[in-house]
Chains A and B, each alone.
Chain A
Amino acid sequence: MKTNRLTGMAAALACGALLGGGVASAGPDDPLIINGDLEIVTRTAAPPHLEGHLDEIRSGWTFRSDDTQALELDDFDNPGMIFVEAAREVWDTPEGSAGKSCADCHGTVDEGMLGVRAHYPKWVESAGEVRTVEQMINACRTSRMGADEWKYIGSDMTQMVALIASVSRGMPVDVAIDGPARSTWEKGKEIYYTRYGQLDLSCANCHEQYFDHYIRADHLSQGQINGFPSYRLKNTKLNAVQDRFKGCIRDTRGVPFAVGSPEFVALELYVASRGNGLSVEGPSVRN
């Protein structure tokens, strides 16, 4: 019996060695080049407002395994692009009482929405507040198209946001944090550093102090949102930014703010500003 057990152990060890040898080294320094020509900045110097907090900002892509990373190298392999294609059809389809489509006002999505994802959330003068892409889409739908609002994190909405993000891929995230957006940004910063829930955790506890560590089986990223909407392998669909915020606060065993609430809009602005300099990457692929 004893011999048997030893043999079993030896076999298990050999197996482990084989597996270890077979896996290529995880390459956080590997460049992300989509479709062979679209270079994505996944690591860069932190924006000035993060001085004393972070030196380098990293896209969530750099924290994922080689296999997951590879899914983003080619649009054909990126499952998020199926949703983008579906949204392309919606873009050209008239809807609502005005009988207008997105294309009627904005032209082609590739030109009309170029750079939009890089600058949102931003101060919208006509609304007198900071708004997200989702809020702008719903404003268009109700006021210009005469159509019903989409749910803030519904699939229609998220795939449209993914389409809008996809045409700006490679452009640096550059949300404005000064001027009229300043007070919202300050509010977002306060939320970021406030501890929530029974576990008494702030965003910063995980994503600033302990990124690149493991929290049980999860490899913590910096919580950058340049890659959103994000296709997650765990739920096989696109995930909206604020859906993830909700999930994170839930994980602290707190009660999340509502999606689209002023608190989450402020937080989205602040978190986006922490990624100023990274490339727009959505729809990204994450685990």
Chain B
Amino acid sequence: MAEGVKPRVKAPKTAAAGETVVIKTLISHQMESGQRKDSDGTPIPRSIINRFSVAFNGQNVIDVALAPAISTNPYFEFEAVIPEAGDMVFTWYDDDGSVYEDVKSIAIG
């Protein structure tokens, strides 16, 4: 497993029904491209987050395919319409098979 991986999400705790809210996400990850070599000249194997998806109450919000040129600690900010109270589930998929998940509950109020 890649070291020092930590997902972070900033989402409002409450929203009005039908309101568009801004969600910010960041995962600390070295995003090793696979193109670099270490000091001995041995290629450093690729190790990146290759997919990021968000679902709200089971419904897909965004689904992103990430490529090796994306920088360290990928940051995504997007807007989402909140029709009802529920849980927003954030999932990051690592090259090594690890899956990192975070959940934020958003209430109507």
Contact = CB atoms under 8 A, between A and B. Distances in A.
B73 A79 contact: yes
Interface residues of A, number: 7
Contacts of B8: 76
B58 interface: no
B57 interface: no
A85 interface: yes
A76 B72 contact: no
A20 to B, nearest CB: 27
Interface in A80-109: 82, 85-86
Interface in A41-100: 76-77, 79, 82, 85-86
A76 B28 contact: no
Contacts of A79: 73
Rank and list the top 8 A-B pairs by shortest CB-CB distance, nearest first. A76-B10, A76-B24, A82-B28, A82-B73, A86-B4, A76-B26, A76-B8, A79-B73
B6 interface: yes
Q: Which of A76, A79, A85, A86 has the most CB of B within 10 A?
A: A76
Interface residues of B, number: 10
B86 to A, nearest CB: 22
Interface of A: 76-77, 79, 82, 85-86, 236
A85 B6 contact: yes
B11 to A, nearest CB: 10
B69 to A, nearest CB: 15
Interface in B1-52: 4, 6, 8, 10, 24, 26, 28
Contacts of A86: 4, 28
A77 B73 CA distance: 12
Given A76-B26, A236-B72, 12 more contacts: A76-B8, A76-B10, A76-B24, A77-B24, A79-B73, A82-B26, A82-B28, A82-B73, A85-B6, A86-B4, A86-B28, A236-B71
A82 B5 CA distance: 11
Nearest to B9: A76
A258 to B, nearest CB: 25
Interface in B69-109: 71-73
14 contacts: A76-B8, A76-B10, A76-B24, A76-B26, A77-B24, A79-B73, A82-B26, A82-B28, A82-B73, A85-B6, A86-B4, A86-B28, A236-B71, A236-B72
